[in-house]
Structure 1
Amino acid sequence: MKEIKNMKENELFQNSEEIANWTYSGATLYYKDCDLKPAVSEKFTPGQILRNGYFLDVSWKGAGIKFNTRFLIASSKAAKLYEVNPANERFGHCCINANSYFKVLDIYKIGDKTQIFLLHIPAKGVKYFRQVQSNIDTDFIQKARDSFDNKINMEPSPELLEPFWLERTNFPVGMDAYDKFYPLDSLTPLQKEAQPLFSGIRNLTGDTSELNVPEPIIFSDPGSDEKGGFWKKLFGK
């Protein structure tokens, strides 16, 4: 039994340094505000792993929030599409690739406003981040909360309230049109016309290694990520 446990631990930490570098090096905060029904927002929980089936439009512009929910996303691999299409520069338009994975780091509420803080993680880092929370995550969470504290009373950016932007962003991350989470054990097929954008985002962000090639995630240890698990506590609270 001890040998089996050690094998699982070695598998968990395989490529851990590469995974950490991919995730944290150059990570920037991006914003996506929307209105969610309470029954939808309550489905998100800290520690949860999400797969987003579609291309995720986000903005680097941080300002006040008009709607009831802000998705704040820490990502090192968001493509600056406004540099490709200057017409969208006023939106601070960036895009995270289809079939990307995220970990819910924190849910923070002030009055009737909620911030859901997500960490963009590589496909081959899902099992690692499912069981490990690092001290970097703890620092990120504090910075995310400070950001919400500072911006909650600011005026929203008028550009991000334009119909064009709302049509692209006014829905939750990681859910389909029926407010159900995309399953982790399958991928959302990309239509042929979407393939150039998928490849373009990988090239623009330098995300060309095998570390983040989307793949179905199968967990063989469904109970191992219970709160209080050893690996969760090893690198942080």
Structure 2
Amino acid sequence: MKNSRLKAIYNETFSDLKLFYRDTNLSDDLISNYKIGQIIQEKGFTDMTSIGGGLSGNVRYLIASAHPKDLSKFNPDSAKIGHFLLDSITYFKVLDIQKIENKTQVFLLNIPDNSITLFKNSSSNLEEEITENARKKFVKKINLPLVPELQTENWKERTKAPIGMNDNGELFFDDSKIKIESPKRIEINTEKKTIAINKKPWWKIW
């Protein structure tokens, strides 16, 4: 992959990245389907909120995305719950799974559908940085009071389904079919806007 293409993908993924929340209750069998480094696909729309209070279920999806739709622009009631939406057929990389007592946080990075192979076969310092931040947020928020506006039956119905699988635990996308290449370590220097792979300058790789 050429350096210009790699930059474009990382800009699309990480520029203006924000964190969103989606709480639900899932069985241990469903939770165990998630693996760190896994690529999953959500077929339906993904409802999530920008408001992060205490967990209202045993599972929190913390979703990092740069391209959600802000529904408050179309519906004033959506502003009260910080309602954001991702389109159907959306791909995520599972960056982390963190469990504290009986609560689990699954940290998902929203990735472009044309970059699945890249994100499956690489890791980056940016992923590590946002994962560290996600872990701190989980510890900080796990015992906070619930947000009353997010306890309505309507919101719970919108967010009750697991992401990336049906209620029986059948994944919508089999990432074992992704072509496996030599794992790459990508270093992004956000100040100088340079990219290095496996700690070598990109011009020595391609």
- Tell whether the structures are fold-level matches, with TM greater than 0.5: yes
Alpha-carbon distance change, 45 to 158 in structure 1, aligned in 2, over 3 angstroms: same
SS in 1 for 2:126: helix
Deviation at 1:177, TM superposition (A): 3.8
Higher helix share: 1
Amino acid at match of 1:163: E
What runs of 5+ residues in structure 1 fail to find an aligned partner?
A: 1-9, 186-216
SS in 2 for 1:133: strand
Deviation at 1:76, TM superposition (A): 0.3
Alpha-carbon distance change, 55 to 45 in structure 1, aligned in 2, over 3 angstroms: same
State whether residues 135 and 235 of structure 1, in contact with CA within 8 Å, keep that contact through their aligned partners in structure 2: no
Paired position in structure 2 for 1:64: 54
Amino acid at match of 1:35: N
Count how many residue pairs are aligned between Structure 1 and Structure 2: 189
Distance in 2 (CA, whole Å) between partners of 1:180 and 1:133 is: 26
Paired position in structure 2 for 1:191: none
State whether residues 164 and 173 of structure 2, in contact with CA within 8 Å, keep that contact through their aligned partners in structure 1: no
State whether residues 134 and 235 of structure 1, in contact with CA within 8 Å, keep that contact through their aligned partners in structure 2: no
C-alpha root-mean-square deviation of aligned residues, in Å? 2.1
SS in 2 for 1:144: helix
TM-score w.r.t. structure 1 length?
A: 0.75
Paired position in structure 1 for 2:191: none
Structure 2 residue 30 is the aligned partner of structure 1 residue 36: no
Identity between Structure 1 and Structure 2 (%):
33
State whether residues 50 and 101 of structure 1, in contact with CA within 8 Å, keep that contact through their aligned partners in structure 2: yes
Higher strand share: 2
Match of 1:45 among 22, 28, 35: 35
Amino acid at match of 1:43: N
Amino acid at match of 2:60: R
Paired position in structure 2 for 1:78: 68
Structure 2 residue 95 is the aligned partner of structure 1 residue 105: yes
Residues 11-61 of structure 1 show CA distances to partners (whole Å, capped at 9, x for unaligned) of: 7x6721111001000010000000000000011010000110000000000
Distance in 2 (CA, whole Å) between partners of 1:173 and 1:118 is: 10
After superposing on structure 2, the runs of 4+ consecutive aligned residues of structure 1 that deviate more than 6 Å are none
Q: How does 1:1-237 map to 2 (within 5 A)?
A: 10=1, 15-183=5-173, 219=178, 221=179, 223-224=180-181, 229-232=182-185, 234=197
Residues 48-90 of structure 1 show CA distances to partners (whole Å, capped at 9, x for unaligned) of: 0011000000000001012100000000011101221112221
Amino acid at match of 1:230: P
Amino acid at match of 1:64: G
TM-score w.r.t. structure 2 length?
A: 0.85
